[in-house]
Structure 1
């Protein structure tokens, strides 16, 4: 069987890529698995010639050459460039992962699923009326962009004795720490915030706040990675905890958070038995989420789930990411999980190519049988 050719579709500016270290690892791992792997953007595909200008690492730089049309493409484009969306709709390739949706639409979808809604925090569109309603039911709320990543442009607002305390981070990760005496002044500030922090044409949402201070003074949450394996089955690769800095509204590693094993954090608050129950529930949640996603959007490859665990041990789905990072494993000292998290998407792409070839062979055999019968 010929070497499988796997293309990684992403953002490119000149010879610059958003995740160069990760992409180098993918190309190297692909070689170990007996595949040809290259990186490209939508501008590099030539459908008429069935060729792609692909990039591979060359020391600390990247070199390009013409590659054959890939057997399978993994879409890793986390920053949409002009023309990407139109190109993606053309379905030029066999994709390992279909397109997904924004955070608000995903939250609505999960909230309407009987098997998932118990894990979904209350979430509504951002406006002044909804802010008032949410504060009637919740002491803490989050304002977050429906299409944001990395903990950017998120604010946490808590009702306190003398008003409302706001903690936030801008697009550039600059901190905000403000006290408002009343809801009117808070709302005026937030209206300006959502205008300034808006990402492309996206909107903001208000989400029920959770008490995630399992460690005093630090917000923490779980990042769980679930991926397709080399047999096309969903499997949890691993999970760990992200612990935010003091007065940080989120736990994101880019915003100054640190990594820890799940057990190390949960054991400080719960018994070993309760810890095992919580982790098992998080795994069940992950399998439920990807099942629902594939039912509505088609074949997928991997998902990173941000899961909140409150002081009572209740599990909450904060958000899902179809193109997740995996640096958490390295920061936890789990190089084995990091390597597995890189290998699995390629193993699945190879498996998918084998299945496609088998399907083509079946179709050819049926066609030959039909021709024989017609003779």
Structure 2
């Protein structure tokens, strides 16, 4: 079979009667002079099949396969996919896996959203713990013309990690499931793990062009560390090193002889004035608890109504393998001024408008600088971590002098910064799918990004 880097399709898979392993293709996918047998591959499954040519009305968009071949490949009737010729191998796909740890039905909404956006690409949601390592198959939830159905599918070409919590992810790592995947599968796991705040700091501080924009940070601080940061910067944030969504954050401000502590307790903002840092830390943290925290230099950020403002930059990759900004949103802190997270009273605002109110004509340049800085951070993080990344959420800041800062990077960003903008949600998903198709080894013709993607 001649090598051809351009994919054919998309096609709909139809079952056909008959024994043996055979496959019928449209004439365009099986030109004259093509070998009549080929290795056919779908995900990690492969079989040698006899090739036939389809004829008649509708043949251009259909592939027909014998029941034996469908079973061997783990293909389900009604699947829509592309075909890619490469030497003696005919690849169907790309089969994109969505990995979770729990019932696949919990990811039904995401599966449906992806499938409706790209009905010509097969997606499969599965629990990594359910993999049959002897057969390299896994029970999964797939999407068909009639909606979701269960199917035993081969291991996919690429895996989008949607394990819902850090705890579950670490449990799979302890059980050796992730190591076994990499040992027995050729499929990359994309956005493979949650970030640890200290690891991100160490990764990025090694780059001279990023280092000046990182707040001073200390892992497992003791009283002396916190006191020193307060003396030099007058504001310190104590954050769980593996925390998320603003939980557990404490803000400390030096105010003359007193220290003002701001935090949330029971979902409500609290403020305490203390004269003894030692006493406060002992009351706030059980013995050893600070070892799981970082202390971070507080930055005099621009503020709205006295409440600090930071910026969430959501980046996603496309088929070109480059980082694209999806949204840059300003986030104004809640009543306590501890965090800008929406769950703690923060609110969204237009980034351009906020910058304009503080910096006037310089706002356009600052907005562009935030986007460029965010791209640089994403590129450096991907290089430093050595794992394929296709989306990132960055928490950035601008101080009163117009200096840019990076506070956190999130490998599993949510969509809160999108507000109710469905176009942004669709754009993000479209970019992610295009990037997954690329990582699956299918060329740009299968991504649909140039032809169908949002502007």
Normalising to structure 2: TM-score of the pair?
A: 0.69
Between Structure 1 and Structure 2, the one with more strand by share is 2
SS in structure 2 of the partner of residue 296 of structure 1: helix
Q: Does 2:104 align with 1:5?
A: no
Q: In the superposition, relative to structure 1, how do residues 16 and 192 fare at CA in structure 2: closer, same or farther (>3 Å)?
A: farther
SS in structure 1 of the partner of residue 382 of structure 2: helix
Aligned to 1:230: 319
Q: CA deviation at 1:219?
A: 2.4
Q: Does 2:131 align with 1:36?
A: no
Aligned to 2:439: 352
* Partners of 2:101 and 2:129 within 8 A in 1: no
Q: Which runs of 5+ in 1 are unaligned?
A: 358-375
Cα distance in 2, alignment partners of residues 22 and 318 from structure 1: 29
Aligned to 1:168: 263
Q: Deviations over 1:227-280 (max 9, x none)?
A: 211122222222111222211400012223222221122222111x31122122
Q: CA deviation at 1:134?
A: 0.6
* Partners of 1:142 and 1:154 within 8 A in 2: yes
Aligned to 2:177: 87
Q: CA deviation at 1:100?
A: 6.2
Q: CA deviation at 1:194?
A: 7.1
SS in structure 1 of the partner of residue 253 of structure 2: strand
* Partners of 1:217 and 1:246 within 8 A in 2: no
Q: CA deviation at 1:8?
A: 1.1
SS in structure 2 of the partner of residue 230 of structure 1: coil
Within-5 A mapping of 1:355-370: 355=442
Match of 1:138 among 217, 220, 233: 233
Cα distance in 1, alignment partners of residues 278 and 254 from structure 2: 14
Q: CA deviation at 1:110?
A: 1.3
Deviates more, 1:317-326 or 1:155-164: 155-164
Cα distance in 2, alignment partners of residues 255 and 194 from structure 1: 26
Q: In the superposition, relative to structure 1, how do residues 263 and 356 fare at CA in structure 2: closer, same or farther (>3 Å)?
A: closer
* Partners of 1:214 and 1:265 within 8 A in 2: no
* Partners of 1:15 and 1:62 within 8 A in 2: no
Aligned to 1:156: 251
Q: In the superposition, relative to structure 1, how do residues 166 and 54 fare at CA in structure 2: closer, same or farther (>3 Å)?
A: same
Q: CA deviation at 1:159?
A: 1.2
* Partners of 1:222 and 1:308 within 8 A in 2: yes
Cα distance in 2, alignment partners of residues 319 and 66 from structure 1: 39
SS in structure 2 of the partner of residue 268 of structure 1: helix
Q: In the superposition, relative to structure 1, how do residues 20 and 282 fare at CA in structure 2: closer, same or farther (>3 Å)?
A: farther
Number of aligned residue pairs: 343
SS in structure 2 of the partner of residue 223 of structure 1: strand
Which structure has more RCO (C-alpha within 8 Å, separation ≥ 6)?
Answer: 1
Q: In the superposition, relative to structure 1, how do residues 100 and 244 fare at CA in structure 2: closer, same or farther (>3 Å)?
A: closer
Q: In the superposition, relative to structure 1, how do residues 325 and 156 fare at CA in structure 2: closer, same or farther (>3 Å)?
A: same
SS in structure 2 of the partner of residue 267 of structure 1: helix
Q: CA deviation at 1:57?
A: 7.7
* Partners of 1:152 and 1:173 within 8 A in 2: no
Q: Deviations over 1:126-154 (max 9, x none)?
A: 21110111111011100001111101111
* Partners of 1:27 and 1:38 within 8 A in 2: no
Q: Does 2:366 align with 1:278?
A: yes
Q: In the superposition, relative to structure 1, how do residues 285 and 161 fare at CA in structure 2: closer, same or farther (>3 Å)?
A: same
Aligned to 2:71: none
Q: CA deviation at 1:306?
A: 0.4
Cα distance in 2, alignment partners of residues 353 and 334 from structure 1: 29
